[in-house]
Structure 1
Amino acid sequence: MLVYGKQIFFYILERHKECVNELYLAKDCDKKTFGKILSYGFKIKKLDFKTAQAYARGGNHQGFLLEIKDYEFVSLSELKEKKFIVILYGVSDVGNIGAIIRTAYALGAEGLIYIGEKLAMEGVIRTSSGAAMDFPIALCKDILSVLNELKQKGFYLYASDSKGQLVHTLEISKKPKVLVLGGEGLGLTDKIIKKCDECLGIAMKNGFDSLNVSAAFAILCDRIMNA
């Protein structure tokens, strides 16, 4: 699995050195930066610009690339022991997924369930600025079954919807919590919303009735975590 970009390059070397298989440089570094890279103990493989562009599939690699081990997903059972987890249903944009994971990790959420058979972790790790490397993620196929299992475990289920009750007016449950977010455009189905205990919305002004899913998540997560 290849990741690239200066920030994620050093984040992984500093926090997850054991995951690195190959280290590539496609630029000349100043003495201090080069010395720092050498200190991690990896053999540096130099790439020309054209090869680096091919490795990064045209992405902005900034001359810093790493080949790392595949991300290891966790099981749903492991996440059942957490206090606050996030479920993404129909969210496909890796930029949004990465931003949600970065925010979730920074604000204290403890894990994520992605409804789907696969997730492009190269992009998610990059767009989360590395936070995905430290954040447990489970892949599950059937959201209704997942919600049933979590409810039986004692979780209080919140759905995010533009027509939901305003989050700043609600008393947030003291139980372990789940926040369910729907995809860009379609949102959550009525079946999913009915499975949840409450539906949360955000007060909007100036004629707008929706936010980008990652922006909405940041607001809801902050309100839930700091209620």
Structure 2
Amino acid sequence: MAHLVELDDPADPRLADYRDLRDVELRKHLEVEHGLFIAEGAKVVRRAVEGGFRPRSFLMAPRWLDGFADVLEVTEAPCYVVSEALAEEVTGFHVHRGALASLERRALPSIDDVLDGARSVLVLEDVVDHTNVGAIFRSGAALGFDAVLLAPRCADPLYRRSIKVGMGAVFQVPWTRLPDWYDALPTLSGRGFTTVALTLAADSSPIEAAVAGLDRVALVLGSEGHGLSTRWEQSADRRAIIPMAEGIDSLNVAAATAVACYVTARR
């Protein structure tokens, strides 16, 4: 069972994992360096632990202990019990969802492992907003996608904001990063997937037609600003568009993913 430790000093070194959680650049370096990530909220923390991630520690106010007892019983990690005011001072925001946990990152799986048995895959190129990445994972999980592949410059799915927006879907859907950006899509085609790029290219067909009858499909989505690179757009097997009302050309990448996943899941 977790050992409860009451703390009252915001400078206590045992709270180092939780400092300045709103400082994105600082956290990116700190979390990678120390091999950790932060989960926020009782539901998300529970899903992380149930997903097999090993807790380093927990941080919560006294009023949340009873509701979290089942999780604390199955770990030896310390649980730091602090006032809500102290938690806010350490983290930089009001912790209103009950709990935080620092958990150990795991080595990323191989593409072979992630794609084993997969029929529907999301492939993201340079989606740099953590909120969008979290929402994309949530849509993929909700609509039955089997895996997510990320280009090297995509935002970290294990960043706190991404995990929170995705409600812990990152712990459910297998994912990894692509080691080779340039030939990523031809490689997927060689593995038996039809790559379908969401793009406004002139030869794009409606998403319903583009995915109809496909067995193994990889939906390819680009960055928030410029969309897909020319390389990825042209090397995809097919190009698809979500038809819009006159005067609107596109959706936010997270919203477009949800629509495309819905259509593809019912192909």
Question: Secondary structure at 1:38's aligned position in 2?
Answer: helix
Q: Partner residue of 1:77?
A: 112
1:48 and 2:83 are equivalent in the alignment: yes
The answer to whether the Cα contact below 8 Å between 1:3 and 1:65 also exists between their aligned partners in 2 is yes
The CA distance in 1 between the partners of 2:214 and 2:154, in whole Å, is 32
Q: Partner residue of 1:220?
A: 260
Pick from 185, 188, 199 the counterpart of residue 228 of structure 2: 188
1:4 and 2:27 are equivalent in the alignment: no
The CA distance in 1 between the partners of 2:79 and 2:209, in whole Å, is 55
Deviation, 1:68, is: 1.3
Deviation, 1:57, is: 4.2
Pick from 171, 179, 183 the counterpart of residue 145 of structure 1: 183
Q: Partner residue of 2:240?
A: 200
The CA distance in 1 between the partners of 2:234 and 2:138, in whole Å, is 28
Question: Secondary structure at 2:200's aligned position in 1?
Answer: strand
The CA distance in 2 between the partners of 1:80 and 1:17, in whole Å, is 20
The answer to whether the Cα contact below 8 Å between 1:5 and 1:65 also exists between their aligned partners in 2 is yes
The answer to whether the Cα contact below 8 Å between 2:211 and 2:217 also exists between their aligned partners in 1 is no
State the Cα deviation string for residues 74-133 of structure 1 (Å, max 9, x = none). Answer: 211223432111110010001000000011011111111110167431332222101101
Question: Secondary structure at 1:28's aligned position in 2?
Answer: helix
Pick from 154, 157, 176 the counterpart of residue 195 of structure 2: 157
Q: Partner residue of 2:169?
A: 131
1:9-158 pair list within 5 angstroms: 9-13=45-49, 15-16=50-51, 19-26=54-61, 28-29=63-64, 34-40=65-71, 41=73, 44-53=79-88, 55-58=90-93, 60-81=95-116, 82-116=118-152, 119-120=155-156, 121-123=158-160, 124-158=162-196
Taking a change above 3 Å as real, the CA distance of residues 56 and 23 of structure 1, as seen in their structure-2 partners, is: same
Letter in 2 for 1:58: F
Moved more, 115-124 or 79-88: 115-124
Taking a change above 3 Å as real, the CA distance of residues 83 and 168 of structure 1, as seen in their structure-2 partners, is: closer
Letter in 2 for 1:65: L
Question: Secondary structure at 2:113's aligned position in 1?
Answer: helix
The CA distance in 1 between the partners of 2:126 and 2:135, in whole Å, is 15
Give identity over the alignment, percent: 22
* Structure with higher strand content: 1
Gaps of 5+ in 2: 1-36
The CA distance in 2 between the partners of 1:37 and 1:225, in whole Å, is 35
The answer to whether the Cα contact below 8 Å between 1:23 and 1:66 also exists between their aligned partners in 2 is yes
The answer to whether the Cα contact below 8 Å between 2:129 and 2:155 also exists between their aligned partners in 1 is no
The CA distance in 1 between the partners of 2:155 and 2:42, in whole Å, is 23
The answer to whether the Cα contact below 8 Å between 2:186 and 2:236 also exists between their aligned partners in 1 is no
Taking a change above 3 Å as real, the CA distance of residues 218 and 9 of structure 1, as seen in their structure-2 partners, is: same
Cα RMSD (Å): 2.3
Letter in 2 for 1:128: G
Question: Secondary structure at 2:239's aligned position in 1?
Answer: strand
Taking a change above 3 Å as real, the CA distance of residues 17 and 87 of structure 1, as seen in their structure-2 partners, is: closer
The CA distance in 2 between the partners of 1:39 and 1:151, in whole Å, is 45
Letter in 1 for 2:51: H
Q: Partner residue of 2:214?
A: 174
State the Cα deviation string for residues 123-147 of structure 1 (Å, max 9, x = none). Answer: 3222210110111111124333221
State the Cα deviation string for residues 50-69 of structure 1 (Å, max 9, x = none). Answer: 54235534364534111112
Letter in 1 for 2:142: A
Question: Secondary structure at 2:226's aligned position in 1?
Answer: coil
The CA distance in 2 between the partners of 1:171 and 1:67, in whole Å, is 40
